[in-house]
Amino acid sequence: METLRSFLFEVCGVNAGWKMEDVMDEEIKVINNMVGSDDHVICALSGGVDSTVAATLVHRAIGDRLHCIFVDNGLLRYKERERVMETFERDLHLPVTCVDATEQFLSKLKGVVDPELKRKIIGKEFICVFDAFAKELENNLGKKPAFLVQGTLYPDVIESCPPPGTGRTHSHTIKSHHNVGGLPKDMKLKLIEPLKLLFKDEVRQLGRILTVPYSFLKRHPFPGPGLAVRVLGDVTEDNALDTLRQVDEIFIQSIKDAGIYDSIWQAFAVFLPVKSVGVQGDQRTHSHVIALRAVTSQDGMTADW
């Protein structure tokens, strides 16, 4: 670290003047320049750190012309919908509409096992829900929202490379994030992504400046496609989603009870496409296997067990 410091500040003469407060002010200016004085904006809220910080930032820029939507896609964790909506109302005071689209998503995912295809299907369905929400707002406001706010981070962009339509071939697509590579080409809403050049630790720092409650900022990352990518197979078979929700709830609560939740970057359960023999009580069983994972990280680009 000392070698890097000497190289940057003494050899290169770099000025250490970068501050997160400057990023916040700059992004607010960008938002105000992009959004007209009478334009309305939709924000896709998931209940995670990224979308919450993005919504808070945009709300600071344009106020009540921001309309947040929380979509229950049937792929959420145990009681996630109830818990998130309660926190939005109690702590953030953001205008949030909850939409239950469980059947819409699960019907499209039936029989799908490829995780990349799941992400693209989910991305498309989210946009369909947002378009319907925009039309409903148009009926109420007399003006259709033109923008969609997403909590896209820089790692999302990197992992979804090469960007569609760029013709680049030097980078591999690690996974198409539903909010990047999973977006349909004909979407009607223009994107506002104020966090797309930031890493997760920087987003948490920005959230602290915006006074987002610590209970939100410390939450482990949860994938936009939800449990669809934590069920390795068809999400509609073998009661996989309900089983996974129960295991995940026990796992996370155990970590919290042990006092190590905040020292772990991300902990989660994965429903595997295999069965194993075991013993329950005095009987032999043959049932599904769920893997438990816990990793540490700083910026979400690399991780360790």
Pairing of strands 283-295, 266-280: antiparallel
CA distances from 213 to 53, 219, 231, 287 (A): 10, 11, 31, 41
* Beta-bridge partner residues of 278: 285
Give the separation between CA 173 and CA 25, rounded to whole angstroms.
32
Q: What DSSP state is assigned to residue 299?
A: S
> What is the number of domains present in the chain?
2
Range of the domain at 26: 1-222
- Is 207 labelled a binding residue? no
Indicate if 36 and 172 belong to the same structural domain: yes
The token pair at 155 is 């790692």
Say what the pLDDT of residue 67 is: 94
Indicate if 211 and 78 belong to the same structural domain: yes
Q: Is residue 228 part of a domain?
A: no
Contact 66, 95 (CB under 8 A): yes
- Is 289 labelled a binding residue? no
Helix (H, G, I), strand (E, B) or coil at 58: helix
Say what the pLDDT of residue 162 is: 56
Q: Pick from 222, 257, 278: which residue ends a domain?
A: 222
- Is 48 labelled a binding residue? yes
In Å, how far from its chain's centre is CA 161? Answer: 18
Give the separation between CA 33 and CA 42, rounded to whole angstroms.
17
- Is 123 labelled a binding residue? no
- Is 169 labelled a binding residue? no
CATH number at residue 294: 3.30.300.10
CATH number at residue 44: 3.40.50.620
Residues of the chain scoring pLDDT < 70: 159-186
The set of residues, in sequence order, having a beta carbon less than 8 Å from that of 28 and lying 6+ positions away, is 57, 60, 61
* Beta-bridge partner residues of 231: 271
The set of residues, in sequence order, having a beta carbon less than 8 Å from that of 104 and lying 6+ positions away, is 73, 125, 128, 129
Give the separation between CA 117 and CA 233, rounded to whole angstroms.
12
Say what the pLDDT of residue 186 is: 66
Give the separation between CA 232 and CA 295, rounded to whole angstroms.
19
Say what the pLDDT of residue 159 is: 67
Say what the pLDDT of residue 168 is: 57
- Is 49 labelled a binding residue? yes
Question: What is the Rg, in whole angstroms, of the alpha carbon atoms belonging to the chain?
Answer: 21
- Is 53 labelled a binding residue? no
